Structure 1
């Protein structure tokens, strides 16, 4: 698909066809593209948990969104659609990998001081990798949705899947063939035009 079309067609898909698994070659392509994301110092301080089996996906939803957390009817509908996704990928950021990398001789920040970082690039870079997966899904004719794991559910998630303490989940991505779903109420806000958000030469 032409890249411009991929970008314009990308949206968060919240309901999936449960009878159409993601082809294995597409799963591999998603991951291959993810690891081609840019990273500070070429640190590549990320890790991806891939959940393809029904058992693993159910373990994920039980740990991160138990029934008692479903809340409103809208939340329940969201969960019902998302739980039908045949593939979940959880991207993780490893802060220590970046502090270690920048303490190496060619960087020289041997004090490993986080204050040297203008922003936490371990999260930025893992976000880059996540976006590449979202775009790859569109290019393959699939849909995907990036969403957060509630803070109070991160510890149960870690325990269930044995995620090392140094790796922080930045969110999760459901992937699959889209089913008709409800338009997000947030979209009524409309897309802000370029002239409102782009400042050329000077902000004001």
Structure 2
């Protein structure tokens, strides 16, 4: 598939055919994720791959504020046979930029204009989403509630220094993606609306 077609076809899929994912497809998603750019080539990320019914069920149990609750969005997302959780690792960046070639003599977080550990992990996540399109499968990036981070870490033995920037459901496309959501009622903003030349004009 041409790259421009991959970009044009990318969308968030919120319901899936429940058949198991082919492991090689998930392999390629993660192989592409680690090709993402990172500040100082810090590569301060990790990816938790959950691709068995047991592990996926553990994820929803640990991250859902009310695991027994039912709603169209959650019911659709829970049909995904695989979940990938991208994790950022701040310490990898603070350590990297305290090395001699970077010129900083400490690990002061205040030096960073934005938290690049999150930015870089988000860029790696986008490569997973784009790979899904290229593979002909569906994916959706969504947030893990901060109040559930500790439960998530405990369930999967994730060290405290790693932060889930979100999670990505992955699965084969259903016959019809009919899960309701506000995004289906919104149109994509045009380039003219969001690109500002020279000066920022609303």
User: TM-score per shorter chain, which class?
Assistant: over 0.9
Aligned to 1:195: 192
Structure 1 gap segments, 5+ residues each: none
CA distance in 1: counterparts of 2:162 and 2:99, whole angstroms: 21
Contact 2:65 2:148 in 1 (8 A): no
CA distance in 2: counterparts of 1:8 and 1:119, whole angstroms: 29
The runs of at least 4 consecutive aligned structure 1 residues that moved more than 3 Å come to 66-70
What whole-Å deviation, never above 9, does each CA across 1:74-120 have from its counterpart, x for those lacking one? xx111111111111000000001000000000002122111111111
What whole-Å deviation, never above 9, does each CA across 1:172-198 have from its counterpart, x for those lacking one? 000011222224223423111111111
Question: Cα 1:17–1:156, aligned 2, differ >3 Å: closer, same or farther?
Answer: same
- For residue 35 of structure 1, report the CA deviation from its aligned partner: 0.2
Aligned to 2:146: 151
CA distance in 1: counterparts of 2:144 and 2:138, whole angstroms: 19
Aligned to 2:183: 186
CA distance in 2: counterparts of 1:112 and 1:24, whole angstroms: 39
Count of matched residue pairs: 199
Answer yes or no: is 1:95 the counterpart of 2:90.
yes
Q: CA RMSD in A?
A: 1.4
TM-score (norm 1): 0.93
Aligned to 1:4: 4
CA distance in 1: counterparts of 2:36 and 2:197, whole angstroms: 27
Structure 2 gap segments, 5+ residues each: none
